[in-house]
């Protein structure tokens, strides 16, 4: 479909669904640039909602490592990560960015798949069907 999908899911301390957002864009980009854009959009969205005490979980080790690095990277990926760092450290005081390959990322991937099917961003206040089973099975 020549689109990149981004899925963001907000959960509470117990892992219960709170909110989700999907968005997509084109043209296609590399996977690591897409992962960095996903992190940036998550940070921006939660910053706009004035949330704090947030654990941002990414399933890209390269995005996580770059976020926690002070190494200068003038690539497209590096510039997006730099934007993530600037926004994160200016808006969040009791939050962190962490790497996790676990089930939380299955939710983001399912939402990203849904995102490419939609022409515009969507915010979900109820669990979307595409992640219902994943969320409910994870709560057992």
Backbone torsions φ then ψ of 5, nearest 5 degrees: -105, 140
**pLDDT at residue 119, as a whole number:** 85
Separation of CA 114 from chain center: 14
Kindly state the tokens that stand for 42: 């998550």
Look up the pTM and report it.
Answer: 0.92
Say how many domains are in the chain: 1
**pLDDT at residue 103, as a whole number:** 53
What is the domain-level CATH number for residue 35?
Answer: 3.30.420.10
**pLDDT at residue 94, as a whole number:** 93
DSSP string across 80-114? HHHHHHHHHHHH-SS-EEEE--STHHHHHHHHHHH
Domain around 64 = 4-138
Q: Please say if the pLDDT value at position 104 is more than 60.
A: no
Give the number of residues written for the chain: 140
Residue among 7, 31, 17 nearest 118 (CA): 7
Q: What is the pLDDT of residues 56-75, one digit of tens each?
A: 999 899 999 999 999 999 99
Q: Where does residue 17 rank: exposed (0-12), middle (13-18), buried (19+ CB within 10 A)? A: buried
73 three-state secondary structure: coil
Q: What is the pLDDT of residues 71-99, one digit of tens each?
A: 999 999 999 999 999 999 999 999 999 99
Whole-angstrom distance between the N-terminal and C-terminal Cα of the chain? 35
Kindly state the tokens that stand for 126: 């109820």
């Amino acid at each position: 479909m020549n689109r990149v999908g981004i899925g963001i899911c907000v959960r509470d301390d117990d892992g219960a669904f709170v909110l989700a957002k999907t968005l997509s864009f084109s043209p296609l980009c590399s996977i690591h640039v897409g992962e960095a854009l996903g992190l940036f959009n998550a940070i921006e969205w939660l910053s706009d909602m004035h949330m704090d005490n947030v654990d941002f979980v990414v399933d890209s080790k390269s995005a996580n490592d770059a976020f926690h690095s002070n190494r200068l990277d003038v690539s497209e990926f590096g510039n997006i990560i730099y934007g993530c760092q600037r926004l994160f450290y200016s808006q969040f005081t009791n939050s962190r960015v962490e790497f996790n390959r676990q089930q939380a990322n299955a939710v983001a991937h399912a939402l990203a798949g849904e995102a490419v099917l939609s022409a515009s961003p969507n915010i979900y206040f109820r669990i979307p069907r595409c992640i219902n089973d994943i969320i409910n099975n994870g709560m057992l």
